[in-house]
Structure 1
Amino acid sequence: MSIEIHGISWHAGYVQLDYTSDGPEALWLYRLKSRRFVPFHVVWSDGNRYRAQLNVVLGGGREVLPAGEWRICRRIDDDLLADLDTLLKAKPYLWTRIRYDARRRLPKALRNDDMAIAEKIRELGVSLIVKHPYDTHGITYSADLLSRIDNLDRVFRYGRNRYAYAGVFVPKTNRDGEVYLALDMLFYQRNKTPRRRSGSKRQRQKDIFAFVYSMMTRVVPRKRNRILFLKENGDGPTENMAALQRRMHERGMDRTFDIRCRYRNVFSGRQKLLPWLGDLLAIARSRYIFVDDYTPVFNFIDPGDDVTLTQIWHAGVGFKSVGYARFGLKGSPDPYNSAHRRYTYALVGNEHLRTIYSEVFGIEEEALLATGMPRLDHFLDPTVERGYRQEMLDKYPWAGKGKRVIVFAPTFRGTGQRTAYYPYDAIDMDRLYLMCVETDSYFVFEMHHFIKRRPQIPEEYADRILDLSDESLTKLFFIADVLVTDYSSCFYDYLLLGKPVVFFVPDKTAYSLIRGVQRSIDEMAPGTICDTFDDFMDVLEHRRYETVKPHPSSIDRAAERGMLASDRAIDAIIYRRDVPGVRLRPADAPAVTDPER
């Protein structure tokens, strides 16, 4: 039985749902932590149209609905919970959830072992569902309602406005990738000093870091000629970092500047104190600091007015929301103490991206330097292209035999490195392999480096489907005939080669609601868009992507410049030269001269 909810509204303490249904069926709120149901009561019906209400003031009897995440759902009938076969006969789609829950109960070493998972399911049986007998399957939401999800929140103030009780509708996805809504009830207390989180363990950590850093800057003199490349989400430089360092050495800057590098991954597990102190000391001694991507140490400290901190952001421009463009969503940055607020400058691919990245980093447009991407300095150099292509052909000779090479490079789902994943269930390996055989193609997975779980490619398909996630995506571009991505910005580089891009986005609605998109993929994607796997196979089988040409505005204008992006960044940041087009200044502002001349 299907239900479509097309209206959600608040009336005093009542939350009201308007929906259509194939037949009379109750809707409930369910909270996993307390394993508790609270019912909606139908107050009006007309044919297949219903209106149901729930009074949150009486959600706990004579108390308000307790704090926590309450899922809008059905309640599974007790008679279906007699055994697993009975349950799956009535609700076969629950198999995905059962398998997921069984897998979670296994040791990490066995979580990809199908036999171990099957044994765990036999052992636990229907108890996997009995513990939480709710069901979100078949409850859908109208597109109009989902587009207004940010406007459905409700705040109840009390205690002379010192306290608040709030209801926030949060979009989620179930194990089948379907969107459902949860009502998150929250209690808040007014904080007179919002820059500080009163009584917070996180705030105490920030205070300690800030104090230690302050002491270091007083005791240890800052090296006026020191340049530091700092990265905290990996053990090596990004391509932007490597390009900028390489250019500094090519220009002989290492003779007058002390160029240092510090790379480590703070997301790889519990971190010890000494490496953090090492980060603080490296920052305290540096005059110029370059970071690429999120660098959490700057959530805790302000490097100081005598430090130039530059974010050399590796991405061109994609569709997914990052930074403050996600403000209010899970994983969004602190409005005050955020690393993004600390940047003196941030690099962008061209002047048209200033507005976008001003929102992303929460800094003024004047702080964005339109230098172009350093990693693209030699991207279109014929010598580089021949070298990369030959290197790839030497390693993967099958790519040079006139076969079509499809490179699949999607971004991750989740809020960050610790929670990153990709929903491989969206890909039918059997059909993918058949398409490769029939069209004489190779399909290459190149997964985001945050995603730890790699695609499970059946051994019999390994001659056509390959996982090359440890390979350089940039180098793979030169043997690829078509790039497949989703919300990633990797197409930004690939378009410079004049090759086609396909966007495979079966979770488009869920992704835009939960992760957030900064630009509509339907309106802005410079290539063919596939919403379903059927569409995806059809586009690849018949090469329908060949007729879709990207708008010229999608291509990085920085590539048209005669000057290297690395030189533009070095001259503007280190030497303070007035590089044409890099800075955004009022027309009458005086030119900035080189202080070393």
Structure 2
Amino acid sequence: MSLDVHQIRWRSSYLEIDYSSRDGGVPWLYCVGRCQFVPFEIVGLESGVRRARLNLVLGDGREVLPGGQWIICEKIKESALVSLQALYAEYPLMPQRVDYDVRHLLPPELRDDDEAVAQYTDEERLELVARHPYVTSGVTYDDEVLERLDNLDRVFRYGKNSYAYTGVFVPKTNRAGLIYLALHMQFFQRNKTPRHRQRSRRQMQKDVFAATYSVMTKLVPRKRNRILFLKENGEGPTENMEALQSRMIERGMDKRFDIRARYRNVFAGRQNIVAWLRDLFEIARSRYVFIDDYTPVFNFIDPGEDVTLTQIWHAGVGFKSVGYARFGLKGSPDPYNSAHRRYTYALVGNEHLRRIYSEVFGIEEEALLATGMPRLDHFLDEKVEKEYREEMADKFPWSAKGRVIVFAPTFRGTGQRTAYYPYDEIDMDRLYRMCVETDTYFVFEMHHFIRKRPDISAEYADRIFDLSDESLTKLFFIADVLVTDYSSCFYDYLLLKKPVVFFVPDKTAYSLIRGVQRSIDEMAPGVVCDTFDEFLDVLRTRHYETVSPHPSSIDRAAERSGLASDRAIDTIIYGKDVPGVRKQASGKGGVVPVRQSDKSAKSERKAKELLDSKVADKDTKSASDEEE
């Protein structure tokens, strides 16, 4: 026995196993029907306990862990597979498994015939084990783990709840009578005929888009020097896009490259076919495509391996779950045909965020470039700070008369069409009285998805303001305190070394419905307020001044250097090896895995689906049910 499992848990799409090992062994997942091992990521904990982590979204390359029965096990040592004697010496319970496997190779009428069993040579017996080189007899489980198995079943919904990906832990016993666990992963489709017809029409529309794009790429020559900035959830560029494009022009790249931009809001209403065709045409003509935020067109098309698609991503890091970190919750992306899977690269603020955004986008950490955020290149520039302060002071003279609190929460709801904020959590009368008593000006800066603005009556208008149309970045420079919730906006604000307060009265409900990627109570770099009373008290007493964020929250060299745009340009456009930007891959030569085209992915998926149809039958007959 070498592995003792103390706890099994789910964290979003991650499966985590806490264990201890007396001989350095590590756990694996193994599917007998597929003859496939899947490794865990191993991290150290305290007191000799280690944690094995597996992101199901990346269980099989850029696809989820395939359906089938996955056994928690150890991998048989290669040194034990040199001979049957070595195998039996290393694993004393192995003879029982080998005997079982041999007998089940025989016709049913001969399985009890010892003479027939004896005809198998040592080499043939060793080969049987080598086909499935796993062992479960070395893995034991604490009683608490086995008692909680029913609580570990997971259902990951997607496709507007039409599909589900489920995980169920099933206890079994091997030939030695020892318990082992198998994780059964299965896919389900809601069987409702009207919904099926509606889904089929949507699929036809997607197929038409994909076919149209394919024709365009053949008829329209792709320009090797064209750079496209594409946005589909707003009429103008994001700050990241603007910063990156401006830097390209500053470097004179507009003389060598054809730099284009296309911005529109596909969520604003019904979109005409001409607008969609224009998107497809622009992508088909471009060699480099930069997007910021979710871009629906890439749900329908694969841009192709000769296109470098880069997600700049507007957020630093917050608490709310987005992308595949919401896998299984309402509105979570499709595990196969999601725009996130198409990215060649995605930019992150620093190397510590690679793991977080690997989960969010469902792509490898090697595809995440630690360039820093382009919009922050001039964030700490004294000239820029002075310019922003003067601009805000001219527009809002009251900002120099007292304390300024900027309230910038994220939206509730599943997306742009359903976004809202629960204003009933805020008592405007009490908020106003606090502002008067403490010489404070309170500014609402609502998320751009939220259409309904706060109702500020005339009697409060001298202390409470709605400045949602202003640049949040510029407001940061006149703010003395930032108040937010699950948003990532504090990520930028911390660079100014000013305090942050987190107002989360709906913390429990938000966690269950929307999902949080990190615990706000454990990770928030500021005071966390669960009630409005507590919130007002913190603002009135300035209790936030007694809480200092961890140095790692504000000591971020990549953002402070002011070179994020240059790092992105040099790495993506010019192919330079900029120090610290790329993570070396574990494969040969540190090469970043190439994004699969739809054609190759679909052909591989067909093969997997054929195999999936056989896995259940094979598993019931194979050594996975009774082995060793």
Shared fold, TM over 0.5: yes
Measured in 2, the distance between the counterparts of 1:586 and 1:368 equals: 11
Q: Which position in structure 2 is the counterpart of 1:557?
A: 556
- Judge conservation of contact 2:155–2:164 (CA < 8 Å) in 1: no
* Structure 2 residue identity aligned to 1:243: A
Measured in 2, the distance between the counterparts of 1:199 and 1:446 equals: 38
Per-residue Cα deviation, 1:10-68 (whole angstroms, up to 9, x for no partner): xxxxxxxxxxxxxxxxxxxxxxxxxxxxxxxxxxxxxxxxxxxxxxxxxxxxxxxxxxx
Q: Which position in structure 1 is the counterpart of 2:384?
A: 384
Measured in 2, the distance between the counterparts of 1:380 and 1:296 equals: 34
Matched, 1:411 2:410: yes
- Judge conservation of contact 2:389–2:474 (CA < 8 Å) in 1: yes
- Judge conservation of contact 1:350–1:556 (CA < 8 Å) in 2: no
- Judge conservation of contact 2:228–2:289 (CA < 8 Å) in 1: yes
Distance 1:537 1:438, change over 3 A: same
* Structure 1 residue identity aligned to 2:263: Y
Distance 1:466 1:165, change over 3 A: closer
Per-residue Cα deviation, 1:78-123 (whole angstroms, up to 9, x for no partner): xxxxxxxxxxxxxxxxxxxxxxxxxxxxxxxxxxxxxxxxxxxxxx
Distance 1:424 1:148, change over 3 A: farther
* Structure 2 residue identity aligned to 1:457: I
Structure 2 counterparts to residues 14-25 of structure 1, below 5 A? none
Structure 2 counterparts to residues 1-80 of structure 1, below 5 A? none
* Structure 2 residue identity aligned to 1:263: Y
Matched, 1:545 2:544: yes
Structure 2 counterparts to residues 103-502 of structure 1, below 5 A? 151=152, 188-189=190-191, 200-401=200-401, 403-502=402-501
Distance 1:149 1:476, change over 3 A: farther
Measured in 2, the distance between the counterparts of 1:512 and 1:303 equals: 35
Per-residue Cα deviation, 1:446-495 (whole angstroms, up to 9, x for no partner): 00000000000111100000000000000000000000000000000000
Measured in 2, the distance between the counterparts of 1:154 and 1:548 equals: 39
Per-residue Cα deviation, 1:207-252 (whole angstroms, up to 9, x for no partner): 0000000000010000000000000000000000000000000000
Q: Which position in structure 1 is the counterpart of 2:85?
A: none
Shift of 1:400: 1.1
Shift of 1:381: 0.6
Radius of gyration: which is bigger?
A: 2
Shift of 1:557: 1.4
- Judge conservation of contact 2:310–2:346 (CA < 8 Å) in 1: yes
Measured in 1, the distance between the counterparts of 2:234 and 2:269 equals: 12
CA RMSD of aligned residues (A): 2.7
Aligned partner of residue 210 in structure 1, secondary structure: helix
* Structure 1 residue identity aligned to 2:372: G
**Segment drifting more, 344-353 vs 579-588:** 579-588
Measured in 2, the distance between the counterparts of 1:422 and 1:307 equals: 38
Aligned partner of residue 216 in structure 2, secondary structure: helix
- Judge conservation of contact 1:349–1:558 (CA < 8 Å) in 2: no
Measured in 1, the distance between the counterparts of 2:456 and 2:153 equals: 43
Aligned partner of residue 190 in structure 2, secondary structure: strand
Q: Which position in structure 2 is the counterpart of 1:510?
A: 509
Measured in 2, the distance between the counterparts of 1:583 and 1:228 equals: 23
Measured in 1, the distance between the counterparts of 2:150 and 2:503 equals: 25
Give TM-score scaled by structure 2 length: 0.63
Q: Which position in structure 2 is the counterpart of 1:32?
A: none
* Structure 2 residue identity aligned to 1:441: T
- Judge conservation of contact 2:311–2:347 (CA < 8 Å) in 1: yes
Aligned partner of residue 278 in structure 1, secondary structure: helix
Distance 1:542 1:325, change over 3 A: same
- Judge conservation of contact 2:377–2:560 (CA < 8 Å) in 1: no
Measured in 2, the distance between the counterparts of 1:551 and 1:228 equals: 38
Distance 1:560 1:284, change over 3 A: closer
Q: Which position in structure 2 is the counterpart of 1:524?
A: 523
Distance 1:165 1:451, change over 3 A: closer
Distance 1:154 1:442, change over 3 A: closer
Distance 1:502 1:154, change over 3 A: closer
- Judge conservation of contact 2:481–2:499 (CA < 8 Å) in 1: yes
Measured in 2, the distance between the counterparts of 1:587 and 1:419 equals: 42
Measured in 1, the distance between the counterparts of 2:189 and 2:572 equals: 46
Per-residue Cα deviation, 1:535-567 (whole angstroms, up to 9, x for no partner): 000000000000000001222614465461000
Distance 1:588 1:409, change over 3 A: same
* Structure 2 residue identity aligned to 1:406: I
- Judge conservation of contact 2:376–2:562 (CA < 8 Å) in 1: no
- Judge conservation of contact 2:526–2:548 (CA < 8 Å) in 1: yes
Per-residue Cα deviation, 1:506-535 (whole angstroms, up to 9, x for no partner): 000000110000000000000000000000
* Structure 1 residue identity aligned to 2:207: D
Shift of 1:420: 0.3
Measured in 2, the distance between the counterparts of 1:579 and 1:376 equals: 19
Per-residue Cα deviation, 1:425-447 (whole angstroms, up to 9, x for no partner): 00000100000000010000000
- Judge conservation of contact 2:288–2:309 (CA < 8 Å) in 1: yes
* Structure 1 residue identity aligned to 2:237: P
- Judge conservation of contact 2:372–2:559 (CA < 8 Å) in 1: no
Distance 1:518 1:165, change over 3 A: closer
Aligned partner of residue 521 in structure 2, secondary structure: helix
Shift of 1:188: 3.0
Measured in 2, the distance between the counterparts of 1:190 and 1:462 equals: 53
Measured in 1, the distance between the counterparts of 2:436 and 2:149 equals: 45
Measured in 1, the distance between the counterparts of 2:254 and 2:151 equals: 51
Distance 1:491 1:223, change over 3 A: same
- Judge conservation of contact 1:197–1:203 (CA < 8 Å) in 2: no
Aligned partner of residue 538 in structure 1, secondary structure: helix
Distance 1:154 1:263, change over 3 A: closer
Aligned partner of residue 200 in structure 1, secondary structure: helix
Measured in 1, the distance between the counterparts of 2:542 and 2:197 equals: 55
* Structure 2 residue identity aligned to 1:536: F
* Structure 2 residue identity aligned to 1:540: L
Measured in 1, the distance between the counterparts of 2:537 and 2:565 equals: 42
Measured in 2, the distance between the counterparts of 1:151 and 1:399 equals: 52
Shift of 1:328: 1.0
Aligned partner of residue 310 in structure 2, secondary structure: strand
Distance 1:505 1:212, change over 3 A: same
Measured in 2, the distance between the counterparts of 1:386 and 1:165 equals: 53
Distance 1:556 1:417, change over 3 A: farther
* Structure 1 residue identity aligned to 2:232: E
- Judge conservation of contact 2:502–2:529 (CA < 8 Å) in 1: yes
Q: Which position in structure 2 is the counterpart of 1:79?
A: none
* Structure 2 residue identity aligned to 1:206: K
Distance 1:187 1:431, change over 3 A: same
* Structure 1 residue identity aligned to 2:463: R
Q: Which has the higher contact order (CA 8 A, sep 6+)?
A: 2
Aligned partner of residue 229 in structure 2, secondary structure: strand
Q: Which position in structure 2 is the counterpart of 1:107?
A: none
- Judge conservation of contact 2:349–2:373 (CA < 8 Å) in 1: yes
Identity of aligned residues (%): 79
Shift of 1:187: 7.1
- Judge conservation of contact 2:410–2:487 (CA < 8 Å) in 1: yes
Give TM-score scaled by structure 1 length: 0.67
